[in-house]
Structure 1
């Protein structure tokens, strides 16, 4: 900025100067103020010069005051800028430190993310295997034809197979309800008691039950054990045994028929297994030995009636029948019969084969020939031939 032709009163004379204000280069804002005097200038009239001088003095004073205010403001601004610069440097250092921390955290997060991806893949594999195992178990239970219901420790229904509806009237909406609230299609009143008993003593219980429709089931109540051996309820399984019950009835009928046939025979008769143990015997044998059926059935032949059949030759002959499957006939043995004394008995043994052609049982029959042999001896007859 340049203000030319300014009058300055210096005492005895008035000087003419040019006021020049220039900014100085540098980091901080400074101004250079120059006063350049004119040489040999003409002076105007005194009055005019005086007015001009006063005007210039006032302007100069204002400029000085403005310059002083600007200088002070500039000093304050410089101080504020210096303080701000220091704060910015501190903030920059903090930002650099934060950036380093963020970089470290980013690396840790990347490492953690990789671990999470690995763990997630393992979890996905485990979930797939569990789903596959669940599907396998469901198909196994459904294909096995076993009606099963899973109960919690509080007897609430957790899960069941579709076939259970033939035994217990269950629907999907019954999940979570106590089994005691459900209608049971069984002629059996102790289901809840049996379940509570299994939960109490942790021992499996089996029994045969019948539905109101007449079907027979084998009911098995077992504790539900988790992988860490924790009891988390019970498993109630119903296996249809109608076919087995039918075969059992047929077998019982066949046994009753066979026993009837055996009992109709007057001669003592036993049915032996491969170990020479009594499977069955008729009433004539019971009467001969004065023993009941419970004492005879299942007993060792050679231990009956204090070893009445425990004879070396008889053992050898019956052993041949059992091992070779050849019949034994016209073999006379001496028996010490209770209340009758010594008796002559003609023994016969015939193997009984099963449907597969394998040896199964031996039919051992005896006939009392004591009187026949006595009469033959009296008449001099020989019946051994």
Structure 2
């Protein structure tokens, strides 16, 4: 039979173990740089991490208060409505949000489950994705700049990827060959215009000569193109190899040398 002293010692040991686990959890949450807010089934704050104070103006005394009473730095996002939906449906929610200082966060809301698989609220996590969004924006701006630059070129021009699929084309290309963006971008060059670009001479240029020489100028061929008739075309092609490990692009410009004159038919 355990004495009171033994019982007290065992209880004290469990308290210290629990305190240690709580300290470990606090340090873990504070150092993964992900804002976290734990809410109960009434959307009342149970606990939160330091990173979460960047999105909600939280202080330690806010534990026990409804999250709806706390001012948010989010722009036009009502996350409490989403949290209630997650609580009701148990379906996780995810969304990118913008805060007033310009940062972007990925918000995830998931049910809070106990070890016994009982739902006792929801957990909101906030992951800073500002650098990713900034990089994506820079890429988009660079793409728009490149496309606008390409559009200033008067000769028909195509940009192909390493699989010979069209990345973009300029306005002159669409006008000259009488095709649309939808029928061009994302398609392999040989499939354009009901396969009218599936020409042996073009295949030789793109698959044999260009990989060997990197740039080809003045490559001439003749072909009957759908909608515009017979044309003699001069092709200039160049492989563009970047400094990174990304696949090379191919710039392909076309220039008409001469078209077959229209034949007159007599009745």
TM-score tier by shorter-chain length is 0.7 to 0.9
Q: Does 1:245 align with 2:133?
A: yes
Could you tell me how far apart the structure 1 residues matched to 2:134 and 2:199 are? Answer: 42
Q: Does 1:205 align with 2:93?
A: yes
Q: Does 1:369 align with 2:257?
A: yes
Could you tell me how far apart the structure 2 residues matched to 1:362 and 1:308 are? Answer: 19
Q: Mark the CA change 1:164 to 1:266 in structure 2 (over 3 Å): closer, same or farther.
A: same
Could you tell me how far apart the structure 1 residues matched to 2:15 and 2:231 are? Answer: 79
Could you tell me how far apart the structure 2 residues matched to 1:352 and 1:204 are? Answer: 44
Equivalence for 2:73: 185
Aligned-pair CA distance for 1:330: 2.6
Q: Mark the CA change 1:348 to 1:161 in structure 2 (over 3 Å): closer, same or farther.
A: same
Q: Does 1:342 align with 2:226?
A: no
Q: Mark the CA change 1:162 to 1:275 in structure 2 (over 3 Å): closer, same or farther.
A: same
Cα deviation, 1:194-219, whole Å, max 9, x if unaligned, reads 22233344343332222223332222
Within-5 A mapping of 1:287-366: 287-320=175-208, 326-356=214-244, 359-366=247-254
Q: What is the aligned-residue RMSD (CA, Å)?
A: 3.4
Cα deviation, 1:53-72, whole Å, max 9, x if unaligned, reads xxxxxxxxxxxxxxxxxxxx
TM-score when scaled to structure 1? 0.57
Aligned-pair CA distance for 1:262: 0.3
- Aligned partner (choices 159, 173, 179) of residue 271 of structure 1: 159
Could you tell me how far apart the structure 2 residues matched to 1:192 and 1:252 are? Answer: 32
Could you tell me how far apart the structure 1 residues matched to 2:179 and 2:113 are? Answer: 50
TM-score when scaled to structure 2? 0.79
Deviates more, 1:264-273 or 1:305-314: 305-314
Q: Mark the CA change 1:225 to 1:283 in structure 2 (over 3 Å): closer, same or farther.
A: farther
Aligned-pair CA distance for 1:313: 4.1
Q: Secondary structure of 2:214's partner?
A: coil
Aligned-pair CA distance for 1:368: 2.0
Q: Check conservation: 1:223, 1:233, Cα contact below 8 A.
A: yes
Max Rg structure:
1
Q: Does 1:223 align with 2:105?
A: no
Could you tell me how far apart the structure 2 residues matched to 1:153 and 1:295 are? Answer: 52
Could you tell me how far apart the structure 2 residues matched to 1:136 and 1:334 are? Answer: 74
Q: Secondary structure of 1:213's partner?
A: coil
Q: Does 1:281 align with 2:169?
A: yes
Deviates more, 1:312-321 or 1:283-292: 312-321
Equivalence for 2:264: none
Aligned-pair CA distance for 1:176: 2.4
Equivalence for 1:147: 35
Could you tell me how far apart the structure 2 residues matched to 1:351 and 1:255 are? Answer: 18
Q: Mark the CA change 1:358 to 1:175 in structure 2 (over 3 Å): closer, same or farther.
A: closer
Could you tell me how far apart the structure 2 residues matched to 1:161 and 1:267 are? Answer: 58
Q: Does 1:170 align with 2:75?
A: no
Q: Check conservation: 2:210, 2:237, Cα contact below 8 A.
A: no
Equivalence for 1:24: none
Structure 2 gaps of 5+ residues are 262-267
Q: Which has the higher helix share?
A: 1
Q: Mark the CA change 1:316 to 1:169 in structure 2 (over 3 Å): closer, same or farther.
A: same
Q: Mark the CA change 1:359 to 1:252 in structure 2 (over 3 Å): closer, same or farther.
A: closer
Deviates more, 1:224-233 or 1:157-166: 224-233
Q: Secondary structure of 1:369's partner?
A: strand
Q: How many residues align?
A: 257
